[in-house]
Amino acid sequence: MNNEEKATARQDLVDSNSLGFKLVQHLEELRKGGEKPSKLNKKTMTATVKVNDEDLNFLSDLAKTFEVSRNYILQMLVQNDIKTMFSNISSDNVEIDQAILADGVDSAISEKGFKHEYRGKTWYWDTVQRDPDFGNPERAKGLLEI
Amino acid sequence: MSNNAKDFIQERCKERAKEKDSSVYTNVSIRLDPKYALMLQSLSKEYNFSISTSFTDLIKQHLIDIAISLDEKDFKNIISPHDGAWFSSDSALKELQSEGIIQQTSFDL
């Protein structure tokens, strides 16, 4: 396969909805002078993950090319995966209720002295806003009349 | 075997293999925003999964998506130098090689 054929084969595999694709776009923006998302908490917490050594070298090359730290790339990937994991908890699961889990984590954030994101971005808010009636002006009007 | 049971045991086997073959894996500490770190701890407890091995395959898959999404210049800088290389383990680069994105290894015997 020549270089041109390889490039075409690669283009056919690109998934513009994938996290990898979106991260590349974000890294390209940063390289052009864009700003990293602002941090609410200066303090971070650590998680240990097992990474294949060849993948780790790939991550280092990627970080060098885009002039960011390897941790920044891993952080973006893992945080997005955590968000996806949480949002995909089945609503049929009666043992692990998404709203209760969200509320528990929000409480833990407060108990440990960390700042919360503004209203609308906490885990609990993310969960409850999925109620189809939430924010419905007709419903709000009805409640006011009561 | 039902699909759920099959998936379950395959996942456990993969985890065991990663534990056993630790020579090709490195433990990396990632700094996370507390909002995400605490959610991860909670999910891990509720769903009884190991945090350290759960992201190994997820990261690999993301790296494959990243590699194929790079523009030509970055692809040439980062990926092309690996053309013809031999990959020892189950890595993103090895997967890219089997997809034909990275040139296969050629041995002169």
pLDDT in tens, B22-32: 678 999 999 99
Three-state DSSP state, A115: coil
Among the partner-chain residues A52, A61, A65, the one whose CB lies closest to the CB of B25 is A52
Q: Which residue of A has its CA nearest to B33?
A: A44
pLDDT of the residue at A130: 55
Nearest-CA neighbor of B36 among A87, A16, A29? A87
User: pLDDT of A82-107, one tens digit each?
Assistant: 999 998 886 666 566 888 899 999 99
Task: Kindly indicate whether the ipTM for this predicted assembly is greater than 0.90, answering yes or no.
Answer: no
Return the residue of A nearest to B90 by Cα.
A52
Mention every residue, 6+ apart, whose C-beta is less than 8 A from residue B95: B60, B64
Coil/strand/helix, residue A91: coil
Q: Which of residues 73-102 of A touch B (CB under 8 A)?
A: 74-75, 77-79, 81-83, 85-86, 96, 101
Nearest by CB: A52 against B29, B33, B90: B90
Q: Do A78 and B91 touch (CB under 8 A)?
A: no
Q: How confident is the model at residue A81, as a pLDDT? A: 95
Q: What is the mean pLDDT of chain A?
A: 83
Distance from CA of A42 to the nearest CA of B (A): 9
pLDDT tens readout for residues B31-78: 999 999 999 999 999 988 999 999 999 999 999 999 999 999 999 999
Q: How far, in Å, CA of B70 to CA of A65, rounded?
A: 11
Q: What is the pLDDT of residue B88?
A: 73
Q: Who among A24, A52, A104 is closest to B91 (CB)?
A: A52
Tell me whether residues A43 and B60 touch, CB distance under 8 A: no
**Measured between CA atoms, how close is B25 to chain A, in angstroms?**
4
A14: distance to nearest CA of chain B, Å?
Answer: 6
Q: Give one DSSP letter per residue of B27-58, joined into a string.
A: EEEEEE-HHHHHHHHHHHHHHT--HHHHHHHH
Contact A77, B59 (CB under 8 A): yes
Is residue B9 within 8 angstroms of chain A, CB to CB? no
Contacts of B61 in chain A (CB under 8 A): 20
Quickly state the pLDDT bin for A118 (edges 50, 70, 90). low
